[in-house]
């Protein structure tokens, strides 16, 4: 398929991409699968998190939209508007997930606004392309784990007292958890950790009636791509999958809805691949 040459500063803004990713704004139709539920979604201003927020709201859930900073305000406000247009409550919270207190702040705000947390989606992630190990600083390596893995732990720990039986926790892993890209080494390692941690949580929390799963996307067209990959990789992004193209965020949303809803009532400890044909075994 191929994309036009484009580059952005990290973390990237969805509204500046060409083409703008399809997050289901015009296509997703809900059927009440999450009626009355309250959800927290990190990285919900753009990409996969945005698609999940839109789908959850149209399925009947109130949504807390967590995002990084003011650079993403416009994207985040658009998501909030779409949530409200679906007749649900939207709560915007910006801040850096690498900071332990901010993870707790997100949960506190959700409980204040919703009174509970039925669904927690730990989706926000940091990545950067590097051709040699020497290019990766200690600070970047640590930050990648703080945002991608440590925040997941902190969010779950803070949310558990407010999650009723029947609740669902979903971690955004990656095809890199099974097929690590050498140029995304720290990111790939965190995505393996997310899948592994989710499987442990499923066993720890089953007796409480809380299900835990992870989703492993393949190449999905999100702001991470033009902001963290060299131009030559952006233009060919996703072309090497068996389906021959990158996926759109909207193509992930139904999987998250399944795992969050009663339709997935006996799915726990799974890593669900949405990869365009790249195998995860």
Q: By three-state DSSP, how is residue 264 classified? A: helix
Q: Which helix (H) or strand (E) holds 92?
A: strand 90-94
Secondary structure of 124-162 in the HEC alphabet? CCCCCCCCCHHHCCHHHHHHHHHHHHHHHHHHHHHHHHH
* 99 pLDDT higher than 80: yes
Structure confidence at residue 191 as a pLDDT band (50, 70, 90): very high
Q: Which domains does the chain have, with CATH numbers?
A: 14-274 (3.40.50.720)
Q: Looking at residue 245, what DSSP letter applies?
A: S
Query: How many beta carbons lie within 10 A of that of residue 47, not counting itself?
Result: 30
pLDDT: which is higher, 233 or 75: 75
Assess whether pLDDT exceeds 60 at residue 17. yes
For residue 253, give the 3-state DSSP assignment. helix
pLDDT tens for 58-96 read 999 999 999 998 877 899 999 999 999 999 999 999 999
As annotated, the active-site residues are 187
Q: What pTM was computed for the model?
A: 0.93
Query: Quick one: pLDDT at residue 6?
Result: 66
Closest C-alpha among 49, 50, 42, 96 to residue 70: 96
- Going by C-alpha positions, the residue among 52, 26, 28, 29 that lies closest to residue 39 is 52
Query: What gap in Å lies between CA 258 and CA 265, rounded to an integer?
Result: 9
pLDDT tens digits, one per residue of 132-148 = 999 999 999 999 999 99
Q: Which band of pLDDT confidence, cut at 50, 70 and 90, is reported for residue 149?
A: very high
Least confident of 96-105, 161-170, 222-231, 251-260: 222-231
**Residue 77 φ/ψ, nearest 5 degrees:** -65, -35
The secondary structure element, H or E, covering residue 91 is strand 90-94
User: Among candidates 193, 225, 46, 222, which has minimal Cα distance to 185?
Assistant: 193
């Amino acid at each position: 398929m191929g994309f036009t040459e484009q580059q952005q500063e990290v973390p990237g803004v969805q509204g500046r991409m060409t083409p703008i990713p399809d997050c289901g704004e015009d296509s997703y139709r809900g059927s009440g699968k999450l009626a009355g539920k309250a959800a927290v979604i990190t990285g919900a201003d753009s990409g996969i998190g945005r698609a999940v927020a839109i789908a959850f709201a149209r399925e009947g859930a109130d949504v807390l939209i967590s995002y990084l900073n003011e650079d993403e305000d416009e994207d985040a406000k658009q998501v909030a508007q779409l949530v409200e247009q679906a007749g649900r409550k939207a709560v915007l919270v910006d801040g850096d997930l690498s900071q332990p207190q901010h993870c707790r702040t997100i949960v506190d705000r959700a409980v204040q606004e919703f009174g509970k947390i039925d669904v927690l989606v730990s989706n926000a992630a940091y990545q950067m392309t590097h051709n040699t190990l020497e290019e990766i600083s200690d600070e970047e390596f640590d930050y990648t784990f703080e945002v991608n893995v440590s925040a997941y732990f902190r969010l779950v720990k803070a949310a558990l007292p407010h999650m009723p039986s029947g609740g669902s926790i979903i971690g955004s892993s990656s095809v890199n958890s099974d097929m690590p890209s050498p140029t995304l080494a720290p990111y790939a390692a965190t995505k393996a950790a997310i899948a592994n941690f989710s499987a442990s949580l499923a066993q720890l929390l089953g007796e409480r009636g809380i299900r835990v799963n992870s989703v492993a996307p393949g190449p999905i067209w999100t702001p991470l791509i033009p902001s963290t990959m060299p131009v030559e990789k952006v233009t060919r992004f996703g072309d090497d999958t068996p389906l021959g193209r990158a996926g759109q965020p909207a193509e992930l949303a139904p999987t998250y809805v399944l795992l969050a809803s009663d339709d997935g009532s006996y799915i726990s400890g799974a890593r669900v691949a949405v990869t365009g044909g790249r195998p995860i075994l």
